[in-house]
Structure 1
Amino acid sequence: MPLLLALETSSNVCSVALYKGADLLGASELQIEKSHSSHITVMISQLLENCGMELKQLSAVAVSGGPGSYTGLRIGSSTAKGLCYSLDIPLLEVSTLYGLALQAIHSVPEPQQYLFCPMVDARRMEVYTCLLNANLEEQLPVAPVILDEQTLKEQLEKQPIVFFGNGAAKFRTLTEGNENALFIETIQPSAKTIGQLALARYEQQAFEDIAYYEPFYLKDVYITSASKNILTKQNDV
């Protein structure tokens, strides 16, 4: 079974997890602002030692690829790339939004009844988001969205949607009284779900090019006017 190291640095949470196949061997997490660069390598070393493993035993490294904090994503990707290059092992990317969604899916009974909308704060009334079903299939693609009363209005008329992530709170005030808008406040980025999702990508050999890999910043889309209210449109895929 592959030994996978997962890294999550896309927010103020810095976490690492170690998986042997589908089995979680251990995880470590810090919620200290601006601590990623000084703590992540120490956390990796301690986690491996606590689990009785060594760096040379790793089969691959998985990293949360964004969207999220620019600085945090750079730290995570550079750490992952450095490990993969020095150990000559594959690099795996997992969407930060998908990692959040997997937690939400595991948190609700009968998840097939809902759609899931992770929201990562992008300042002011903007978020990075997408819309997924319980099988992590995209109903609306990842995009930067400026929130208002019309956001997801049509979708909320048809089906309950679960909202979560550090950008969801500001959308809650726009959906008061809508019984189909459900919110989970306790979900935050975690290397545990990054590792869970990474196993399938490892088995599919969906590896990143270590030399040219960059996180998914959404920066180019962020500066265009086309980003407004993209989620108010019906899914046409």
Structure 2
Amino acid sequence: MALILNLETATTNCSVSISKDNEIVVLKENNAASYSHSEQLHVFIKEALDEASLSFSDLDAVAISKGPGSYTGLRIGVSAAKGLCFSLEIPLISIPTLQSMALQVDAQPDELVIPVLDARRMEVYSCVYDSNNEEVRETLAEIIDENTFQEYASERKVYIVGSGAEKCRGVLQHPHFIFDESVVPSAKEMAQLAFQKYSAQQFEDVAYFEPYYLKDFVLQQKKKKA
């Protein structure tokens, strides 16, 4: 049996779950309009442990959503996960953010799922998965135009889900595209993927692990008044 603490902070959804093997024991999350991870993450962790009648010493591993996503959100989540793993001397598991999003879609055989997270302007972070949650195309940061994802939609339904779906909806016209902006990364879907990695002992080096930012962080500075 494996008790795993799952942390999802890649977007505005501050999400924490505890899973027993691949089943959710407790889930705490809040998808606020603004990022509140620095205030809520550790509170949710403590509340989840209390609700499950567990202590930190009961945990067998910590799983973190590794990105892509918000630079600040990812830093907060990874810092918390690494601190727990160091102090408790338990392994760290990383889960691709877009892969756990794809698990929220009940795709049929031959259908595809493309999770998209909103980036700047007409850009999204995206990856392509088949109905078995296997990666068909690697994660990219790409600018959406009328030709984006067209090669996947000729003979099958393609679910485009996540915060970037609204941006895609306004540009992509193929009838096989199905859009759903309501899908957000959550620690709920992390449980299945985390247990798979735990069973295979696919752990990260806690000292050297870094989030998957995909793009360099750019600090937006305020313009000086003339």
TM-score by length of 1: 0.88
2:129 aligned with 1:129: no
Deviations 1:121-141 (A, max 9, x none): 111000010111011222211
Tell me which amino acid in the other structure corresponds to 1:210: V
Q: Aligned with 1:196: secondary structure?
A: helix
RMSD across aligned C-alpha pairs, in angstroms? Answer: 1.4
Aligned residue number for residue 22 of structure 2 = 22
Q: Distance in 2 between matches of 1:116 and 1:75?
A: 28
Give a deviation string over 1:65-91, Cα, whole Å, max 9, x none: 000000000000000000000000000
How far apart are the structure 1 equivalents of 2:151 and 2:50? 51
Distance in 2 of aligned mates of 1:13 and 1:53: 24
1:60 lines up with 2:61 in the alignment = yes
Residue of structure 1 aligned with 2:157, choices 157, 160, 172: 160
* Residue 2 (str. 1) matches residue 5 (str. 2): no
The 5 A counterparts of 1:189-204 are 189-204=185-200
Distance 1:171 1:23 in 2: 33
Unaligned runs of 5+ in 2: 219-226
Distance 1:35 1:184 in 2: 24
Spell out structure 1 runs of 4+ moving beyond 4 A.
none
Separation in structure 2 between the aligned mates of residue 27 and residue 138 of structure 1, nearest angstrom: 27
Provide the C-alpha distance between the structure 2 equivalents of 1:53 and 1:138, rounded to a whole number of angstroms. Answer: 35
Identity %: 44
CA distance in 2, matches of 1:23, 1:67: 25
Return 5+ residue gaps in structure 1 as ranges. 224-237
| Residues 1-237 of structure 1: pairs in structure 2 closer than 5 A | 1-32=1-32, 33-105=34-106, 108=107, 111-176=108-173, 178-220=174-216
- Deviation per CA, 1:74-121, whole angstroms, max 9, x where unpaired? 00000000000000000000000001000113xx5xx21310100011
Which residue of 2 is the match for residue 232 of structure 1?
none
State the number of aligned residues: 217
Greater share of residues in helix: 1
Q: Which amino acid aligns with 2:185?
A: P
The letter for the 2-side match of 1:113 is: D
**Aligned partners of 2:164 and 2:181 also within 8 Å:** no
Moved more, 53-62 or 154-163: 154-163
